[in-house]
């Protein structure tokens, strides 16, 4: 009886693991790691670039005086990422922009692990195709360490955001941090993950 119970528990655990593991992460482990190791001519699997975190942020911009606007942005990012955002505050006053020190100027979400891969999978397979006149993304937005910054003008590219339910549309910035040592490794990683760079 104990053997049957243990076998059942192991099967349930395996099933839950497969359900909770994002397809993109599984693809990264099974297919992308070997491909990148060969493409970048790396000796050790541990040298293969990987994504460490994804940061999504949005500023309130010209609506900084509208108290309800930042609430709207916060709710939108929570829907998109499935995680509660953190509000960012101005570190110093900027008189030209009428910003006071400590004033809330935006919201940010940092994703790790499975939730990070789920977000990237949705971004590549769902959000990019929803962008009007989309022709790909530029490869000029890498920094020297292989990290990539992407800006989206409209939050409606995400299926969680219904056009009729939002008062004001806003853009957002997505920063993808990688362990790549240069732009070549960073671009190779994102290309294999399905990011459609303009050729």
Residue-wise pLDDT for 80-100, tens only, equals 999 999 887 776 666 555 666
Residue pLDDT, tens place only, 29-40: 999 999 999 999
Is the pLDDT at 103 greater than 90, yes or no?
Answer: no
Residue pLDDT, tens place only, 114-148: 999 999 999 999 999 988 888 999 999 999 889 99
| Cα(41)–Cα(35) distance, integer angstroms | 10
| Cα(195)–Cα(71) distance, integer angstroms | 31
Question: Over the chain, what is the mean pLDDT?
Answer: 83
pLDDT value for 157: 87
pLDDT value for 13: 42
Please report which confidence band the pLDDT of residue 169 belongs to, taking 50, 70 and 90 as the band edges. confident
Q: Which single residue is written with the structure tokens 């709710």?
A: 75
Nearest in space to 36 (alpha carbons), one of 174, 142, 183, 185? 185
CATH architecture observed for domain 2-192: 2-Layer Sandwich (3.30)
């Amino acid at each position: 009886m104990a053997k049957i119970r243990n076998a059942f528990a192991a099967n349930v655990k395996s099933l839950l693991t497969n359900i909770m593991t994002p397809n993109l992460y599984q693809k990264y482990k099974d297919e992308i790691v070997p491909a990148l190791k060969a493409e970048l001519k790396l000796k050790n699997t541990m040298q293969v670039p990987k994504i460490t975190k994804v940061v999504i942020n949005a500023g309130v911009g010209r609506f900084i005086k509208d108290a309800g606007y930042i609430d709207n942005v916060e709710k939108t990012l929570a829907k998109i990422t499935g995680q509660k955002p953190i509000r960012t505050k101005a570190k110093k006053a900027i008189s030209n922009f009428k910003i006071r020190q400590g004033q809330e100027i935006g919201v940010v979400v940092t994703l790790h692990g499975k939730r990070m891969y789920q977000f990237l999978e949705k971004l590549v397979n769902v959000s990019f195709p929803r962008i009007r006149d989309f022709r790909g993304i530029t490869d000029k937005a890498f920094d020297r360490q292989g990290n990539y910054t992407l800006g989206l003008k409209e939050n409606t590219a995400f299926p969680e955001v219904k056009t009729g339910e939002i008062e004001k549309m806003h853009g957002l910035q997505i920063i993808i941090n990688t362990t790549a040592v240069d732009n070549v490794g960073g671009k190779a990683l994102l290309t294999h993950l399905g990011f459609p760079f303009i050729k």
